[in-house]
Chains A and B, each alone.
Chain A
Amino acid sequence: MEGALVNALEAIALGAPVGIHGNKLAAFEFCQTSFVLSYYILLLFYLAYWQFVPAASVYGSSWEDWRRIFAHTNFVSAKWICLPVHGAVIGAWFGAWPMPLDWERPWQEWPICVSYGALAEYLIGMVASLGFVLIRGRQHHQKGD
């Protein structure tokens, strides 16, 4: 779960509120892109796809491994598998934009729209990735023939 810490720090650096000031404070903070949701998705992906490394907890204090995780999210030989992960991060980033607008809608509250953004982009990434899988699969199939 060290990975959670990294992502939480990332979110704080982008402006997520530190400490528990209650939801009111957090509500309209704009640049706090939450990576909470996206993080869990990331983690799931690490666990699901990244099979040649046992688990995230293995890394512990290994500086090099952490650097690689952060720098090369396209660590798997097939790049397209990471599309949903990238999508979630980018979606969370864009999801933060409506927060300062004065529309006074309930969903503008932190971290709702950020999470929606992450989720939406994640789904898009999923579909895209699925498409890649299918296309690749067919190509592979044809090659096999």
Chain B
Amino acid sequence: MSVSSITCKRLTLLSISAVFIQLIGLSLFVFGFFPVKLALSGVSGPESYRAPACDSNHNHTHTHTSLPPPQLRSLYQDLSGIPPSFDRLIFMVIDGLPAEFVLGKDGKPPRKAFMEAMPYTQSLLANGMAIGYHAKAAPPTVTMPRLKAMVSGAVGGFLDVAFNFNTQALLDDNLLGQFLSIGWKMVMLGDETWLKLFPGLFTRQDGVSSFFVKDTVQVDQNVSRHLGDELSRDDWNLLILHYLGLDHVGHIGGRNSVLMAPKLVEMDQIVKMIHTSIIQTQESDQGNTLLVVVSDHGMTESGNHGGSSFEETDSLALFIGLRNHVSDYASATNNTAYQVDIAPTLALLFGVPIPKNNIGVLISETFDSLKDDHRLRALELNSWQLLRLLQAHSSGLSCGNIPYNGFSDSKTTGTTACNGSTEKMLCCLYMKAAVLHNSWKSKQVSESDRWEVYSSTFAAYHKFLKTASEWLSSRATDKPVNLLASGVAAMLLSCLIFLSLILRMCREVSLVEKQHLSELGSNSQRWHLDETFVLGVIFILVVSMTSSSMVEEEHYIWHFMASTLYLVLLRKTAQLLPAGSRVFRGQNIMSSVFVLLISGRILRGWHQGGVNWTYLPDISKWLEQGGNDLVKAVQLVSGVMAICVGLYALSFFGSKKIIVQVVGINFCIAGLLVLQYVMRYQDNTFVPSSDGATLLAQIIYAILGSATVGTVVVIPWLIPIHLSDMGSSHNIYLSTLVPSDIKEKSPLMEIRDSLYVIGWSYILCWCLLQLLLQQPINSMPILLLLVQIMTSMLYFSYSRLHHKEWVEVSALCFLGMAGHFALGNSNTLATIDVAGAFIGISSHSTLLSGILMFSITYASPMLALLSMVVYMSVKSYLVVPQNVDSGHLLKTMLGFPCLVPLGINSILLTAYTIVLLLMRNHLFVWSVFSPKYLYVCATTVCIYIGVTIVAATGIYAYLVLVMRKMKRFSIFNH
């Protein structure tokens, strides 16, 4: 036909290579952009009690770690000069407890129910026996990175989230390692994450799994059952308790769950039990024990965590048993610190070196009971450690400009203001503090000035520590420019390849179309609102990515765009309907757009997503207020309706009903099993998942999987072969464009039929799977999405040549993305549904639960992609086979449904990569833009998977049918 025609083989090769180029570019960029934690290797030893070395960086490598533990312990004590205040430490972690529950917020006490739930803790705070901190945790607020931060004082890389389910031993310098080196015996009871972080470190241990999120009782009893025994023993120095129950309560019912107050009562009783036993040991002079109650992160109103909102980062640090008494309740509760501050504080209190990569600052109130020189010494040690870290990070911070022994000019240095570059300022601040400290130590000052010098030294140290800590935590790593540039270039290249391929396909199609339209005598070239709008949507999406609020509230954009697109389609349809026709078809096609609009509107109102306005009422909250029964009723109704819709769609299939009946019965059985699962096991969400539920879920997986795979494999072999076009004349999607002689040779009809059945079995399988996995409240949106998909298919089958094919495919993609947000997803990591990821899994498997989590999160885009198979069948009348052999049919059929999603995604991915690069110094880069980037990457993966399935199905069906047709044709001719 035309010279620019591109062969099927070349098209495939080009697209596959573009996908690979994109993958390579993406991985290059991700590894370049996301910081691999900047860490000093090695472990702090006795050298941390000396001032940072001046000349060469680390030349005294003779380590003392070879010393036996007791000697090392006394060496540390001699060097530090601070008498240890405590002998033993009980480190109690309450997973997910927001500090607000214990300490209140903004000077106000916590809610009455929570106050009453924790009488003992509150009395400790009121009596000045305890001091509590809002310890701000760094995002990502998930357990493992937070535990690492608490024991090592370092903030991990962003990608730690990705490895949260794949815990590995913590090899960096950390508190527990330090304690081990001075011969401490440690006991751990609770979350087995600790065991994965520190394998073989504990003398005794009882790990509980954080795996069964729905278990809120057993998980804590397993910890507490050993507590009495452990408290009566004296062979340990460190006891770690990690209670998971409260986090599970949050995941199930949110902050205001009915189980929250009883859980707090339980925690309070444990605190009481421990504290009573501490007092007893103290009275019998068996040593001092410090109880530190911390939480690893907070939780949002709905009980999720992972992001960086105040609710999620507001974790607790509560010190019980310090010897100083805090005067009043307000000063015991209204304090803030950082979570990383726990590490240096504990290290200094217990006389071990501060871990090498710590960026925290000691919490000064905990040292109030010490003498002045000890307190300054503690500050000095912390400063030295931070200074070492600073020196490692910044070459500009050389020792040459730190004359820390020249206290002769103390008066002048002490008064000059520090400014200039950050490095210089840090140097100057440190110098000031050091000089003041030296002058205080040298006892040159008179007794009257002594307090003044002390307080200014104290202030100077604090200023240096705070500045250095902030600088270190905010400092982005040096990004490898080559890696980033080549990554972006590769992505741009693949984006260009995709776009040029799509453009080429468009040109070809329009050429063919012109031929036909000239035959039909209709006008072709005019301004198309729908095409302009689709391009406009992509442009708007790219532009809106540069605004942090638009990224946070992205769901509004998708819903707005989707509904505007429906209106545009409606208008276009109305325009194209022949004037004066009141035919059934016209109303039908209009009403299908109305169904799209209405269901889109309901979907939009289902979840009030995003970040800033989640508290506004929406349908899901309204239903949840109605109680469990209402939600379950809605769930059952939508389950039944979904099955009905699927069967109805299958019933459109024209020839050989028996195949469809078998397929339909298969899915009916699966659907009924899903309904049974819903009835029996989702009844009470507080019941720990039982074996029966797991078994049933596994049976459902097996049936769905085998039914779908079976359908895909068998249908092309069983579909009846038309030797003339008589049999299919009653099909609703029949067209007469194809000349009959070609129809006999090319398997067009058969492909259409088989793809229709296969496509619907994909869609049904996916929907039933989602009905099983999604939260109960999301079952209705799944149904609505299914209805939307079906209506779009009807609309597209009616609309014939009114829209360009790429417009329709992108409309389906937009529909998928709008649905993604309608299912309650957002661009923060907190909305990922973790609970559903363990349905039907009997043992812990990172891979399986990861796959389930992915399929829950990307339910809607995947559904839209799977519906492309049906779309191909619905649209295949456009395929006008010129010659049978060239693969032209395959190309025309598969081209747009595969290339357009890839193309749109490559534009968005490339644009967002560039945006992220530009925003690297933005305040919200880690809290807003980076999580969004993870989502963009995951969407890319989702598109790859979906497109692969679509392409593989199309090619398989084509090959099988061509083979059968040829065989039949030759038999027929003989």
Contacts and interface: CB of A to CB of B under 8 A. Distances in A.
A83 to B, nearest CB: 16
Interface of B: 547, 549-550, 553, 556-557, 559-560, 563-564, 566-567, 570-571, 574-575, 577, 579-580, 582, 587, 590, 597-598, 600-601, 604-605, 610, 612-613, 616-617
A14 B550 contact: no
Interface in A71-117: 71-72, 93, 96, 99-102
Interface stretch (A23-31, A36-44, A127-135, A137-145): A23-31
Contact of B571 (A28, A33, A70): A70
A68 B610 CA distance: 39
B560 A13 contact: no
Contact of A13 (B566, B571, B575, B580): B566
Contact of A31 (B577, B604, B610): B604
A54 B692 CA distance: 71
Given A15-B560, A63-B587, A96-B560, 5 more contacts: A10-B567, A12-B601, A31-B560, A99-B556, A100-B553
A38 to B, nearest CB: 14
A13 B598 contact: yes
Closest 3 CB pairs of A and B: A71-B574, A31-B560, A30-B556
B617 A13 contact: no
Contact of A30 (B553, B566, B605): B553
Contacts of A12: 601
Interface of A: 10, 12-15, 18, 21, 24-25, 28, 30-31, 33, 63-64, 67-68, 70-72, 93, 96, 99-102
Contacts of A71: 571, 574-575, 577
Contacts of B605: 18
B563 A13 contact: yes
Contacts of B575: 71-72
A106 to B, nearest CB: 17
B855 to A, nearest CB: 28
Contact of B567 (A14, A30, A72, A102): A14
A93 to B, nearest CB: 7
Given A30-B556, A93-B564, A100-B553, A68 B579 contact: yes
Given A12-B601, A101-B550, A64 B580 contact: yes
B612 A13 contact: no
B577 A67 contact: yes
A130 to B, nearest CB: 24
A33 B561 CA distance: 12
Contacts of A14: 560, 563-564, 567
B617 A30 contact: no
B601 A70 contact: no
A68 B580 CA distance: 10
A53 B770 CA distance: 52
B787 to A, nearest CB: 15
A76 to B, nearest CB: 16
Nearest to B560: A31
Nearest to A13: B597
A140 B195 CA distance: 89
Given A15-B601, A15-B604, A101-B550, A31 B563 contact: yes
A66 to B, nearest CB: 9
Contacts of A25: 616-617
Given A13-B597, A13-B598, A14-B567, A67 B560 contact: no
Contacts of B610: 100
Contacts of B574: 67-68, 70-71
19 contacts: A10-B567, A12-B601, A13-B598, A14-B563, A14-B567, A15-B604, A25-B616, A28-B616, A30-B560, A31-B556, A31-B560, A64-B582, A70-B574, A93-B564, A100-B550, A100-B556, A100-B610, A101-B549, A102-B549
A15 B559 contact: yes
A101 B556 contact: no
A101 B598 contact: no
B560 A101 contact: no
Contacts of B559: 15, 31
Nearest to A14: B563
Contacts of A33: 560
A23 B717 CA distance: 61
Nearest to A32: B560
B563 A63 contact: no
A63 B600 CA distance: 24
A63 B587 CA distance: 9
A9 B79 CA distance: 78
Nearest to A10: B567
Nearest to B581: A64
Nearest to A26: B616
A21 B571 CA distance: 30
Given A15-B601, A31-B556, A70 B577 contact: no
A64 B580 CA distance: 6
Contacts of B564: 14, 93
